[in-house]
Every structure is written in structure tokens, then in C-alpha cells.
């Protein structure tokens, strides 16, 4: 294998201050967080930060050389524009290391009013080719792009080779069958789009029930799944529910599983991917700390000796315990026919 082009950054989730500290202490190069409102795509009760908490988080992270990124990655509606505008202004006042955005109007506002603010294009921006990335770079001066999880390894290679900005890929966490930023599926059940309200399954629409048939979950009254005693109960989303089709009950759209790129780290490093992102701002500090430790160890080992790199069995076992559905996959990255 030829010499590696770069050392990839590890970007980890921080849904709370304890989770942020866990990520920083475990070796994250950057953490990403959001305000406590619908301006970010993990708008769950009990998660996220106000301005004072972000200042505390930045102090903690910066002392240890870790950058803080702010996700403003939902799409404002006309009547709520001022909320997102204030969020951009706050981000600039706080001095975060970068803001992760998707909305064209919001990017335009940030570029015009805060030209010093470093901008990253969120995965919600759905930039899946070099032409769209070039547009965002030329018009808004984005410096990094998070690409959707539906791209294959060969497609990512072509994007990286032709991208005018750094490319960030997802490395571990829940998968989605949709192209991020283009999904309105849950709105048919909840009446709220994840791209405007910040969450696929609003907490107010989720109900858990204990029944003689087992624990079951409902979304706005619709039965999404039923779990047996030995099954872990995942957070209910419409795409990952089990449905009765021709008298068979199964995951009709997507079986819960987690993306895990440990097997292909040398390939990603060789092609010049700039950063690996861990999904999971809704997850616990213990989860964040454990995933960050494993990913940190793997990235360091791969960079030091890419020709002899192999994922350690204990890394894989540790991540399998944390995977959605208790299994992992390379997802769309593994398309051998391409």
C-alpha cells in the first residue's frame, strides 16, 4: 500500500456535557453539539446545550486540543427564520470552531454577516457529487462536507479526488435507508418533518406499552414494533419498524443495524478522507466514551502501520455490543460489483 495521505480526524457526538467530556477524554479530535431547540437534527428533550453550557464545553475541549463544532443543520421555515438567524449570530459570538449547516438561505446569511465563521456542509445538505460540493464551496466558502451514508466506497473515492474541500464520512452509528436531508417519511405518521423539527420520531409522539404479547412501541398511535423478552427495544422510527406484509411480520424497509468502518480504514486513509464521524448525540456518555476509545485506537494503529492493520477482536466485540440491532455492517460502502 502506498503512503497514506493524511491522518483522519475523529469527530464525536456530544448530546450533553458529560458526553462531551467522555469524547474529549477518550481522544476525539472534534466534538459536535447543538442548541436546545429545533435548529439541530437531534432535538430531543434533555439533550443539547444553551449558550453558557457551550462556553463551558469549549473551555473543557480546547484545553485538551479538541475542536467544538455546532450543528445548525435543520431547515428553517419562513415564520421561524429569526430563530435560526439568532442561532447563527450566537455561534459567531461564541466563537465555535465551525458551524455545520444544510439550508441554503442560512448558509447565505452566515456568509454575508459572519464571513469569519468556518462553515461545514451537513450531511443533511445531501451533497453526493463533486458538482454540488463545488457549488457550496464557491457560493458559501464551505471548508468541509459530510457526505451521506448511501455512497459506496468507489463513489466516495471519486468525490474525494475531485472535491475542493475536505471530505468527512460516517464511521460508526445508526444507518438510514434514506439520503439524509431528503426524507419526509416520518411526517406521514407524526405530521412533523425531521428536516424542520430536528427529529425523526418526536418524543411527544412516542408511546411504550407493556402487553401480554411483549413490550411494544407506538408512534402517534401507530404500532411500530413489538419486542420479545430477549430483544433490545430500540427507539421507534417508521423506517425501522416491523410490519405485517402478506401475513409475515418483518422489517419491511430496514433492519436495525450499525455502520462500522473499522475493516476499511486503510482504504479511507489512502484515498484522503479528512475525518471520520461517529453518530449518536442521543446516546449515553458511556456509549460515546466507549466508541471514541475504540475508534481512536483503530485510527492510530492504522496510521502507524497501514500495511499490517487489522481490526482487533476486542474492538469489534466492544462495538457489536453497542450496535443498533447488536450487529454491524459496511452498508452501502460495500458494493463489490462496482
Co-location of 242 and 261 in the same domain: no
Domain boundary among 226, 250, 274: 250
Domain boundary among 227, 250, 273: 250
- 112-138: pLDDT as tens digits: 999 999 999 999 998 989 999 999 999
Given a cut of 60, whether residue 213 has pLDDT beyond it is yes
Phi, psi of 85 (to 5 degrees): -60, -45
Co-location of 166 and 293 in the same domain: yes
Q: Which of 17, 294, 327, 338 is nearest to 171 (CA)?
A: 294
Give, for 322, the enclosing helix (H) or strand (E): helix 313-322
Residue found by looking up cell 460489483 in the block: 337
Co-location of 298 and 238 in the same domain: no
Co-location of 25 and 153 in the same domain: yes
At 60, list the grid cell: 473543557
Confidence of residue 1 (pLDDT cuts 50, 70, 90): very low
Phi, psi of 276 (to 5 degrees): -115, 130
Query: What pLDDT was estimated at residue 179?
Result: 63
Co-location of 329 and 202 in the same domain: no
Is residue 338 one of the residues assigned to a domain? no
Query: What pLDDT was estimated at residue 132?
Result: 96
Distance, CA of 31 to CA of 11 (rounded, Å): 5
Co-location of 198 and 318 in the same domain: no
Given a cut of 90, whether residue 180 has pLDDT beyond it is no
Domain boundary among 224, 250, 276: 250
- The residues that bridge with 217 in the sheet, in sequence order, are 208, 225
CA torsion angle 184 189 194 199 (round to 10): -150
Q: Stretch 61-69: mean pLDDT, rounded?
A: 98
Q: Stretch 292-320: mean pLDDT, rounded?
A: 94
Least confident of 93-97, 186-190, 304-308: 186-190
Given a cut of 50, whether residue 2 has pLDDT beyond it is no
Task: Show the DSSP H helices in 250-284 as ranges.
Answer: 265-271
Given a cut of 90, whether residue 63 has pLDDT beyond it is yes
Given a cut of 80, whether residue 146 has pLDDT beyond it is yes
CA–CA distances in Å: residue 65 to residues 8, 42, 213, 241, 295? 15, 25, 51, 41, 17
Amino acid at each position: 500500500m502506498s503512503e497514506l495521505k493524511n491522518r483522519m480526524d475523529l469527530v464525536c457526538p456530544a448530546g450533553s456535557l458529560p458526553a462531551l467530556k467522555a469524547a474529549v477524554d477518550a481522544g476525539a479530535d472534534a466534538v459536535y453539539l447543538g442548541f436546545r431547540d429545533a435548529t439541530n437534527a437531534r432535538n430531543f428533550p434533555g439533550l443539547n446545550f444553551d449558550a453558557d453550557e457551550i462556553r463551558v464545553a469549549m473551555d473543557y475541549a480546547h484545553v485538551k486540543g479538541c475542536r467544538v463544532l455546532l450543528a445548525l443543520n435543520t431547515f428553517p421555515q419562513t415564520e421561524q427564520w429569526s430563530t435560526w438567524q439568532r442561532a447563527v449570530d450566537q455561534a459567531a459570538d461564541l466563537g465555535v470552531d465551525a458551524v455545520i449547516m444544510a439550508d441554503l438561505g442560512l448558509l447565505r446569511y452566515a456568509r454575508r454577516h459572519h464571513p469569519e465563521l468556518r462553515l461545514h456542509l451537513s450531511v443533511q445538505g445531501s451533497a453526493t457529487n463533486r458538482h454540488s460540493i463545488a457549488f457550496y464551496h464557491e457560493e458559501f466558502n464551505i471548508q468541509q462536507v459530510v457526505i451521506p451514508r448511501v455512497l459506496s466506497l468507489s463513489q466516495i473515492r471519486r468525490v474525494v479526488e475531485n472535491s475542493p474541500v475536505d471530505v468527512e464520512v460516517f464511521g460508526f452509528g445508526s444507518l438510514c435507508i434514506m439520503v439524509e436531508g431528503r426524507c419526509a417519511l416520518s411526517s406521514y405518521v407524526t405530521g412533523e418533518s425531521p428536516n424542520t423539527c430536528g427529529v425523526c420520531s418526536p418524543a411527544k409522539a412516542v408511546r411504550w406499552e407493556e402487553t401480554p404479547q411483549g413490550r411494544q412501541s407506538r408512534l402517534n398511535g401507530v404500532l411500530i414494533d413489538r419486542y420479545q423478552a430477549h430483544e433490545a427495544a430500540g427507539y421507534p422510527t417508521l423506517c425501522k419498524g416491523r410490519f405485517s406484509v402478506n401475513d409475515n411480520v418483518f422489517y419491511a424497509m430496514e433492519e436495525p443495524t450499525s455502520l462500522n468502518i473499522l475493516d476499511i480504514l486503510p482504504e479511507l486513509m489512502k484515498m484522503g478522507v479528512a475525518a471520520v464521524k461517529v453518530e449518536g448525540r442521543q446516546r449515553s456518555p458511556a456509549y460515546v466514551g466507549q466508541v471514541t476509545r475504540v475508534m481512536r485506537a483503530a485510527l492510530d494503529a492504522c496510521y502507524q502501520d497501514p500495511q499490517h492493520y487489522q481490526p482487533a477482536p476486542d474492538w469489534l466485540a466492544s462495538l457489536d455490543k453497542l450496535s443498533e440491532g447488536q450487529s454491524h455492517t459496511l452498508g452501502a460502502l460495500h458494493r463489490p460489483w462496482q
